[in-house]
Amino acid sequence: MKRLILTAICLLIFLSASAQEKKRLRGFDGGMMVHTGYLQGNLDAIDYTAKGAPLGIGGVIRLHLGEHFRIGSEGYVSTLNQRGNGSYLKYGWGGLLADYYKVIGRFQPYAGLTFGGGAMTTLLMIEKPVSPWAPIDDTHYHKQGFMAIDPFVGCDFIVSGSMHLTLKVDYLCALSESELLPHGPRIYFGFLFYH
């Protein structure tokens, strides 16, 4: 795990140094995105398989270095509702990112990697309450931090020089050796403002 962390940090430094050799900070962008997708995974501690479509929101901010590189940061909150009784798995995560992009007409495809971490909060109610405010005996609560890498690909549609629509797909991969997160692809849609 330490080697993977060191490799990700070295990649970010290399991309930054490569872009700075040209001594050009070409601007920045940032904006908000909503996401969904499909996640599935087993919570071994309670022998429960969580699956479904998460819903979430977050944002990104990036500096444009050179002709094709960007570095920045992003962060998101994602909720995976379970059992139809208020149970959920909630993720909050973020980190540093580096990506490569190319403008082709009105399209701007990109690919990159985010390195960071976050926390997953789990609240699972196996039974349903008998009446309002009644305690539920078979309830599980757990909060766990994690380190993660998040590879992503996407494409902007250039509406104007200062506004883009973006569509992105990622796959958040926990690096923890403890209980792993339910995983799967997430699809993001959002507005980005360029300067």
- CB burial string 80-119: b at 16+ within 10 A, e below: bbbeeeebbbbbbbbbebbbebeeeeeebebebbbbbbbe
Average pLDDT, the chain: 88
Best-predicted range by mean pLDDT (9-18, 19-28, 64-73): 64-73
pLDDT digits (tens, 9 = 90+) for 79-111: 999 998 889 999 999 999 999 999 999 999 999
Residue pair 115/157 in contact (Cβ under 8 Å)? The answer is no
Exposed/middle/buried for 121, CB within 10 Å: 0-12, 13-18, 19+? Answer: middle
Task: Tell me the whole-structure pTM to 2 decimals.
Answer: 0.84
Tell me the pLDDT band of 175, cut-offs 50, 70 and 90. confident
